[in-house]
A and B are shown apart, each in its own frame.
Chain A
């Protein structure tokens, strides 16, 4: 093949891997060799633990107003300082992290479910179904994402609020809208995988044994096409977190009483000169989370999708 540049720093020559190890154990071993990804997994784990357990240990309310300590810099009483109403920022960042991470994961699930379904249908049925679905995919790919997100969340905010309550309504709306604009890469990936897999001998063998199309897809083709989808899913989590923060930062995401990271930044941006800690900490939280997820995605790509080029 093409020269001797390995596709990644951790790739190794073929045939060197020890036999008798399951595919997942092998993938995990390769993942651990990507040091940044391995450490990022720890960082992300700690972050998730902090936002889940943090509010139980650090018992300061997110809406406790303390006018004595308005815009106070970090101190022993308020580890990350306070905002313009004297509310504790550590408590708010921890609470906001729950929402931001939940939106990220939930939107990823929506995007992957839609993407895998559409990609699988397009990949297994040739002809006009495939052509129509790919036309829709290309159409969605050329829609300007953020403007559409802004318009949709703004217009449907009130009706969602009326149906399922203010907080859940906004959450569901944002998750569905972000997921609805991120499924296209997954759909294309799955379709491409289907195209190559359905001609393979093992699928042929299963078909010869009389397996139905449904069984072929669910049991044989889909599991084998999941590697790249897992990588795409990881990237989707990071993208969804950034999108949600962007919406909130523009003042069109979550309402002011739900302090997601983007929303805290939106409130803080006018106080940049007198209270920089206020915008620094939520911004750093977004940055560290997204960086960790990106590294994990990179490690997963090397572990699950290894082009071990010789």
Chain B
């Protein structure tokens, strides 16, 4: 297992470099100038402006700027937010935990829904349960997250008045009260993200269980007299999950898209809403850092998927 993880870690390096090149090129090609404000300010003489640009290396060739930027990033110097006037890394560390908690909880919810429903649907294919579950799955992934979010707000907050629809980070209550308030305001965002995710996972689980369930070794297990429960959980699901893990890993980049949308709808102060604010205010260092952090997270989760893969299918780790 050790060498396997190490090899995967080494593969991460060129991917991260590639992503950083793509990001840097996009921002270097972008017409917006971070010095626009200075350029239009009549109090700054052109000579001063030119000297300032030269001192910050803005007139250097692109590749030189890239090397400078990369070495600064590696040293942990992520720059300074133009708008918030604090260091970008502090800003991101403030926002990241909320996003990770909401995404994590929604993934757990998705797994808890998709796995049993998908397996049950595949055990009795084309039964009523399967038909209903498959139709609901279709509806689930045809509903865009922003619309489900609005529908949830409409129903649970406005009609029923059960749940708050604005996420508050500064809840004054303590102890149990604090936890209760946080859980209450997280239910809707987590449900919106998790159910959308569960809809597509359920189909993956169903079709890959269908591929496995009639194989000979399952028949063997059955003829040994094992209970149906043991056959499904120990023999079928573990093998069926191997392709599912790959598909889930492939879908991860889209997960952050969903997170951005839900954070925007429910006004959760996470990295997604930070990115939107930064884009709207042309806050280049923040945009750069947030997109880079999100890409790095995607690659990290891919690594985790590879490790899970190795655990599910021991043949892989020896290769």
Q: Give residues in A with beta carbon < 8 Å to B.
A: 2-5, 7, 9, 135, 138-139, 141-148, 150-152, 154-156, 158-159, 238, 242, 245-246, 249-252, 262, 265, 269, 272-273, 276, 279, 283, 286-287, 290-291, 294-295, 298
Tell me which residues across on chain A come within 8 A of B261, comparing CB atoms: 146, 246, 249-250
Since A142-B295, A147-B275 are in contact, a sample of 8 more A-B pairs with Cβ atoms closer than 8 Å, ordered by chain A residue number, is: A3-B213, A3-B214, A144-B295, A146-B256, A147-B294, A246-B257, A250-B261, A286-B144
Distance of A4 Cα from B214 Cα, bound (Å): 7
Say whether A265 contacts B146, CB under 8 Å: yes
Residues 222-268 of B contacting A (Cβ, < 8 Å): 250, 253-254, 256-257, 260-261, 264-265
Per the bound structure, the CA–CA distance linking A144 and B264 in Å amounts to 17
Say if the beta carbon of B19 comes within 8 Å of chain A. yes
Q: Indicate if the CB atoms of A5 and B31 lie closer than 8 Å.
A: no
Report the nearest A residue to B165, measured CB to CB: A272
CB distance from A291 to the nearest CB of B (A): 4
Residues of B within 8 A of A138 (CB): 15
Contact (Cβ within 8 A) B294 A265: no
CB contact list, B115-151 vs A, under 8 A: 125-126, 138-139, 141-147, 150-151
16 A-B residue pairs with Cβ-Cβ distance under 8 Å, sorted by A, are A5-B125, A139-B15, A144-B295, A146-B257, A146-B260, A147-B257, A150-B279, A155-B27, A245-B144, A251-B280, A262-B146, A269-B150, A272-B158, A283-B144, A290-B142, A291-B142
Residues of A within 8 A of B138 (CB): 291, 294-295, 298
Contact of B143 among A7, A142, A262, A287 (CB under 8 A): A287
Q: When chains A and B are docked, how far (Å) is the Cα of A159 from the Cα of B29?
A: 11
What is the size category of the interface that chain B forms with chain A? 35 or more
B313 at the interface (CB under 8 A from A): no
Once bound together, how far apart are the Cα atoms of A245 and B149, in whole Å? 14
Tell me whether B141 and A154 are in contact (CB under 8 A): no
Interface-centre pick from B32, B214, B279 (highest chain A CB count, 10 A): B279
Is B154's beta carbon under 8 Å from chain A? yes
When distances are taken between beta carbons in the complex, the residues of chain B under 8 Å from A286 are 144, 147
Instruction: State whether A291 touches B15 (Cβ < 8 A).
Output: no
Q: Which residues of A are found within 8 Å of B257, using beta-carbon distances?
A: 144-147, 246
Q: Tell which of A142, A143, A269, A272 has the most Cβ of chain B within 10 Å.
A: A142
Known: A139-B19, A146-B260, A273-B158. A151 touches B299 (CB 8 A): no
| Cα distance A291–B302 in the bound complex, in angstroms | 29
Instruction: Specify which chain B residues have a CB less than 8 angstroms from the CB of A144 in the assembled complex.
Output: 253, 256-257, 291, 294-295, 298
A276 touches B291 (CB 8 A): no
A142-B302, A159-B31 in contact; A265/B153 too (CB < 8 A)? no
- Report which residue of B30, B144, B154, B210 has the largest number of chain A beta carbons within 10 angstroms of its beta carbon: B144
